[in-house]
Amino acid sequence: MTTPDPGGGLGPGAVESLVAAPPAMSPSTAGGPFDPEAVRRDFPVLHRPVNGRPLVWLDNGATTQKPRQVIEALGAFYGVANSNIHRGAHTMAREATAVFEESRAAVAAFLGAPSPAEIVFTRGTTEAINLVAQSWGRDNLGPGDEILVPALEHHSNIVPWQLIAKERGARVVPVPLLADGRIDVDAYADLLSYRTQLVAISHASNVLGTVPPLREMIALAHRHAARVLVDGAQAVAHFPVDVRELDADFYAFSGHKLFAPTGIGALYGKPELLAAMRPWQGGGNMIDSVDFGETTYAPVPHRFEAGTGHIAGAVGLLSALNWLTALDRDAVTAYEGALLSYAQRALATVPGLELVGAAPDRIAVLTFTLAGFDPATVADWLDRDGIAVRAGHHCAQPALRHFGLDSAARASLALYNTPEEVDALVSSLTSLRQQAG
């Protein structure tokens, strides 16, 4: 960890060293097949016991754990570099501003965005979607306009559109699902019309794991002059994203689902859209000049970042991106796909267990029911064995209702999970069935 210079400054490059990527040939990034055990060594929490058992963290859809590089970067920033950003005349303000804007540039590169000016820092996906709804939506939605939202969406990609639609006289139109949890693309194509102003769609479902044919769906929307917002919260940790290739108009994600801290996320927007959007929140940092007669606003992206943002969160996000992009992302994706297949086969051996959704293109999310057991009871039983899963409606009630369910249990996998942890899950569930007779 970087330590203060006795002379009073950190010295050239010291702030940048807080978030340095791991060496190119560290155990986490060595060539050859992806090695989850090497990666696991970067995560202190994965080595703690829970209820006397080794922790098995299968709640990654809710939040991912943090590697030591991120944890150390946060501690080092607060320990030796803490300062507010922008406009500061002193050394530490300049250093903090530099690393904050370096994080913005890293997010742009991570998403394939042409410029850091197309990246707005937010508290996460939810705030990013609300920003677009309240800023872009207020000026572009009117009576009779439609917002298409697939039934698989997280509530964060439904409720903001309902709120602005009610205010503007527009309406939210659900896009139905097929029996296996895929979006009905034919129905989607039929629903698109001159009334469609926006399509709001997730890059990967948090409850079904479904990865829709996004490029095809975006191209169809653009033929009707509709804009597309993509909720990438569940996607960015599992496979590379290129917003230019997708041709997405907006793309949002949360840091805490990407091995970064909570309370930090980002919104990508095409520059012509961001430039035309009014501020959503007012205050410091987002202004050019304030007068009681007239106030003018800062250029994009700062006009959307009112007040003091989560500066340390941006530092942690930069560290997480450096850590993740040092890995072979294609190897990670292949490993997670193989782990998902293994888990599907293993869970099929548990009597009375049914997986929810069977879309062929999906991330490693396993939502399930166990006959005779409430999902909360299942989660509580697993917790006694140190296995963390989630139970409930997963903030995706329309998707569950498609399968006639109000709640379900969910095991969501990440790159540090292993076949042995899947075996522990299956063993515990089998024991629950046997205990019940």
User: Domains along the chain?
Assistant: 91-325 (3.40.640.10), 329-429 (3.90.1150.10)
What percent of the chain clears pLDDT 90, i.e. is strictly above it? 90
Q: Is the per-residue pLDDT at 82 higher than 90?
A: yes
What average pLDDT does this structure show over 262-270?
98
Task: Tell me if residue 395 is catalytic.
Answer: yes
Which range has the worst mean pLDDT, 78-92, 132-146, 316-330? Answer: 78-92
159, 388, 395, 405: the catalytic one is 395
Write the pLDDT tens digit of every residue in 341-397.
Answer: 999 999 999 999 999 999 999 999 999 999 999 999 999 999 999 999 999 999 999
Which residues neighbour 290 within 8 Å (Cβ) at sequence distance 6 or greater? Answer: none
Distance CA 357, CA 151 (A): 13
Which residues neighbour 103 within 8 Å (Cβ) at sequence distance 6 or greater? Answer: 19, 121, 314, 315, 317, 318, 321
Place of tokens 């060594």: 41
Distance CA 402, CA 81 (A): 50
Q: Which tokens hold the place of 392?
A: 């409930």
Which residues neighbour 292 within 8 Å (Cβ) at sequence distance 6 or greater? Answer: none
Place of tokens 């994600």: 253
Write the pLDDT tens digit of every residue in 275-287.
Answer: 999 999 999 999 9
187-202 b/e (C-beta count within 10 Å ≥ 16 → b): ebeebbeebbbbbbbb
pLDDT at residue 98, as a whole number: 97
> Chain-centre distance of CA 97, in angstroms?
24
Which residues neighbour 288 within 8 Å (Cβ) at sequence distance 6 or greater? Answer: 296, 297, 298, 299
Question: pTM for the complete prediction?
Answer: 0.94
pLDDT at residue 137, as a whole number: 98
Handedness of CA 424, 426, 429, 434 (dihedral sign): negative
